[in-house]
Amino acid sequence: MQCFKVITNAKTAIAVLAFISISCSNVKDEPIRTAVKNQLSVYPESTLQDLYKNFFQDYFGPGHIVSDTMSAGAYLNSELASLKQAAGAYYEPTGYNGNFYRVNLSVIQDGFISRNAYFDAFVRSVTNMQTITFEEWENEWMQIDAVINRMNLKLNNYEQEREKLFSLLEQGQYVVHHSELFSKEYDPHYRIIRQDIFREEILPLLPK
C-alpha cells in the first residue's frame, strides 16, 4: 500500500503525516522499529539524520559515491594512512532489509582482507544494483518517518532535522552525511558493500 504522495511542502508534509500515520501501519512497521532500536542500542547519539542515512544506504548502497573510482581509491588510501584505529564492529547491515553492509576499515587494518580486495568489493557493489526511483524513496521514507515518529524517541534536534529532511526531498535531493554529533561521537570509517558480495567474499575471512 502506498500511503503517501509526493511532498509539496516540508511543513505540510509533517502536518499530514501526523494525521494519517496511525492509519498507515503495515507489515514493515516492526522491521523498521527493530532496525531503529538496533541502531540506537549501538549508537545512542544517533539523530534522525543518521537513521535516515542508514535506511537510505539500504536502498542505494554506495552508488552516490563511486562515480569516480580513481578518486574513491585515492580517498580510501588517504583515510587508511591517517587512521589510527577504526572503532566499532567489523560489519553491520543497513536498514531493515540488509541489502548492503557497512564494512569497517578495521577489517583491513587487522589483516583480514587486503586493501585491493576490499576496494574491489566496494566498487563492484554498484554493479547490477537494483535501486528505486526518487519518488519511491520519498514514499518509503515517509512511511519510515511515520514509524519513527510514533516511537517518540526524543532524538537530538528531532523536529529541526525532520523538517530539514522533508525540505531536502522537496528540492529533489536525498543524499545526507552523518550528523556532526554522530561523527564526533563515533568517528565512523566504513564502506558500503552489497550483501551477496559481503557474504561470499568478506564474511568468511572474518573471525566467527
- Place 186 in a pLDDT band, splitting at 50, 70 and 90: very high
Check pLDDT > 80 for residue 5: no
| Rounded Cα gap, residues 33 and 120, in angstroms | 33
Residue 134 has pLDDT above 60, yes or no: yes
Let me know how long the chain is.
208
Residue range 160-170, pLDDT digits in tens: 999 999 999 99
Which of the residue ranges 127-131, 139-143, 172-176 would you say has the lowest mean pLDDT?
127-131
Q: What is the pLDDT of residue 11?
A: 54
C-alpha dist (Å) from residue 1 to 12, 20, 125, 189, 195 = 21, 13, 29, 37, 26
On whether the CB atoms of residues 176 and 52 are closer than 8 A, the answer is yes
pTM of the model: 0.87
Q: Where along the chain do its domains lie?
A: 10-205
User: What digits encode the pLDDT tens for the residues 68-115?
Assistant: 788 889 999 999 999 988 889 999 999 999 999 999 999 999 999 999
Residue 152 has pLDDT above 70, yes or no: yes
The radius of gyration computed from the CA coordinates of the chain, to the nearest angstrom, equals: 18
The secondary structure of the chain as a DSSP string is -------S-HHHHHHHHHHHGGGG--TTHHHHHHHHHHHHHH-TT--HHHHHHHHHHHHHTTGGG-S-HHHHHHHHHHHHHH-S---S-SEEE-TTT--EEEEETHHHHTTSS-HHHHHHHHHHTTTT-----HHHHHHHHHHHHHHHHHH----TTHHHHHHHHHHHHHTT----PPPHHHHHHH---EEEEEHHHIIIIIGGGS--
pLDDT at 24: 55
Q: What is the mean pLDDT of residues 2-20?
A: 50
pLDDT over 90 (residue 128): no
The pLDDT of residue 178: 97
pLDDT mean over 112-128: 93
